[in-house]
């Protein structure tokens, strides 16, 4: 029987880089995704994500992709990288459950099954384990079960999968040992957690830490404006302390999958245990209020010039982070919605986004950034993509609201 070293379930922002790295390491890799368009694109050598690995290189190494799960029966290791999100603010594990059921249909003795999808502490044991053991196989005896949180950071040119330490864990010590051995083939450093729940919680802590600290500097930015204090100089000065301080920057809000979503998994689990998670809740409220704060600042600037309704505003960068094309949970959505409610004409320029919808209505795209900047009554910098000529924009814009602290000039106001 033809066998593969690895089957990756879910070929998105996490699964595809993992499959690519495994191919580069010399493993025989197969991928599974329920989206037929994704499979068709990959089979033709095209990637559907930014930071796209060389799909042609993967295919040359023997990579195959399919919507069916039959390759699971031939795999030494199966890694589940399906998305987890929220439905009405509650954890949505439908993709994990569906993947677990399909993997179980083809699971054979001796396989290592690893969950990489982010979720609350206990997910691997309480959700995935019963699905896999419904086959009659026993985890830790007939097959190995492990959890290893993903740490993919799109757009990060310094830290890739292979040079980012990988946290691993297992249902049993032997499961953890096998998981450790697998990832040692792919990454430079492997860290073994005490157990599955410790590894699951570590992932949530990482992003909750970012959520809380971003909220702290966002709240500080609002206060500093009221006090007529330059928050960016405050941060510059504080960052010179060589111990006890790590700098975070304020901005128009948080976006993407990790920061707006992952901490809610921790808070949800805490509430299920009857415990408060007040710091995470407060941080979410602060960050959720930043788009409205940006709009208030924009309205005040336009009002000083005598025109709000009918004014033209150009947004620079509508992705959730710089130098990526991902608009998931982007704060630009709320900013567009609220500017429109004020009767403001909103357009955008973003070299990574060819079309941007808010409430089903397209936001006009300005391909010629110089023309758009000169025509706008106000330019709002939301994401400081490296491709943007920020000094040139500052020179030609009527007025700029810089939410990233990157621009200078008499016509520039910083967040």
CATH assignment, 196-288:
3.40.50.720
Provide mean pLDDT across the span 105-129: 97
Identify the pLDDT of residue 3: 86
CATH architecture, domain 289-415: 3-Layer(aba) Sandwich (3.40)
Identify the pLDDT of residue 177: 98
Residues 4-193: name the CATH superfamily: NAD(P)-binding Rossmann-like Domain (3.40.50.720)
Beta strands 361-362; 357-358: pairing state: antiparallel
In terms of Cα–Cα distance, which of 376, 380, 346, 344 is closest to 361? 346
Identify the pLDDT of residue 88: 87
Identify the pLDDT of residue 50: 72
Q: How many CB atoms lie within 10 A of CB 323?
A: 19
Identify the pLDDT of residue 53: 79
In terms of Cα–Cα distance, which of 399, 381, 378 is closest to 390? 381
Does 196-288 match 4-193 at the fold level? yes
Identify the pLDDT of residue 157: 81
Does 323 score more than 60 pLDDT? yes
Residues recognised as catalytic: 258
Identify the pLDDT of residue 2: 66
Identify the pLDDT of residue 182: 98
Identify the pLDDT of residue 96: 98
HEC profile for 51-119?
CCCCHHHHHHCCCEEECCCHHHHHEEEEEECCCCEEECCEEECHHHHHHHHHHHHHCCCCCEEEECCCC
Does 220 score more than 60 pLDDT? yes
- By CB atoms closer than 10 A (0-12, 13-18, 19+), residue 198 is middle
The full set of domain ranges for the chain reads 4-193, 196-288, 289-415
Identify the pLDDT of residue 257: 83
Provide mean pLDDT across the span 269-274: 93
Identify the pLDDT of residue 68: 96
Of the pLDDT bands very low, low, confident and very high (cuts 50, 70, 90), residue 151 is: very high
Long-range contacts, 320-323 (Cβ 8 Å, 24+): 320/254, 320/255, 320/256, 320/383, 321/154, 321/155, 321/255, 321/256, 321/383, 322/155, 322/383, 322/384, 322/385, 322/386, 323/155, 323/352, 323/385, 323/386
pTM: 0.92
Identify the pLDDT of residue 94: 97
Provide mean pLDDT across the span 236-252: 96
Average pLDDT, the chain: 95
Of the pLDDT bands very low, low, confident and very high (cuts 50, 70, 90), residue 381 is: very high
């Amino acid at each position: 029987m033809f066998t593969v070293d690895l089957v990756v379930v879910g070929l998105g922002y996490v699964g595809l880089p993992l499959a690519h790295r495994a191919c580069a390491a010399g493993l025989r890799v197969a991928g599974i995704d329920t989206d037929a368009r994704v499979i068709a694109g990959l089979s033709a050598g095209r990637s559907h994500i930014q930071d796209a690995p060389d799909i042609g290189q993967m295919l040359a190494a023997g990579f195959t992709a399919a919507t069916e799960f039959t390759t699971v029966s031939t795999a030494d290791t199966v890694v589940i990288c399906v998305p987890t999100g929220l439905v009405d603010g509650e954890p949505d594990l439908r993709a994990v459950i569906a993947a677990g059921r399909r993997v179980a249909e083809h699971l054979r003795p001796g396989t290592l099954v690893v969950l990489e999808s982010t979720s609350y502490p206990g997910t691997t044991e309480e959700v995935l384990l019963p699905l896999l053991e419904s086959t009659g196989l026993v985890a830790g005896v007939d097959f190995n079960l492990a959890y290893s949180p993903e740490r993919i950071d799109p757009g990060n040119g310094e830290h890739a999968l292979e040079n980012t330490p990988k946290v691993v864990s297992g249902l049993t010590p032997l499961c953890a040992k096998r998981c450790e051995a697998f990832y040692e083939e792919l990454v430079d450093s492997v860290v073994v957690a005490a157990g599955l729940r410790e590894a699951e919680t570590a992932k949530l802590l990482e992003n909750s830490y970012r959520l809380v600290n971003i909220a702290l500097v966002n709240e500080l930015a609002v206060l500093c404006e009221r006090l007529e204090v330059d928050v960016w100089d405050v941060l510059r000065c504080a960052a010179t302390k060589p111990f006890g301080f790590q700098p975070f920057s304020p901005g128009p809000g948080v976006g993407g999958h990790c920061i707006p979503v992952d901490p809610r998994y921790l808070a949800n689990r805490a509430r299920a245990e009857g415990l408060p998670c007040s710091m995470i809740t407060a941080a979410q409220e602060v960050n959720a209020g930043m788009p409205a704060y940006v709009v208030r600042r924009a309205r005040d600037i336009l009002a000083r010039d005598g025109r709000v309704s009918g004014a033209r505003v150009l947004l620079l960068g509508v992705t959730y982070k710089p130098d990526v094309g991902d608009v998931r949970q982007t704060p630009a959505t709320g900013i567009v919605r609220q500017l429109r409610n004020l009767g403001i004409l909103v357009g955008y320029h973003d070299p990574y986004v060819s079309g941007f919808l808010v409430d089903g209505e397209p936001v006009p795209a300005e391909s010629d950034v110089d023309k758009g900047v000169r025509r706008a009554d106000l330019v709002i910098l939301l994401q400081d993509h490296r491709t943007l000529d920020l000094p040139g924009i500052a020179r030609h814009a009527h007025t700029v609201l810089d939410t990233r602290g990157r621009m200078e000039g008499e016509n520039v106001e910083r967040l």
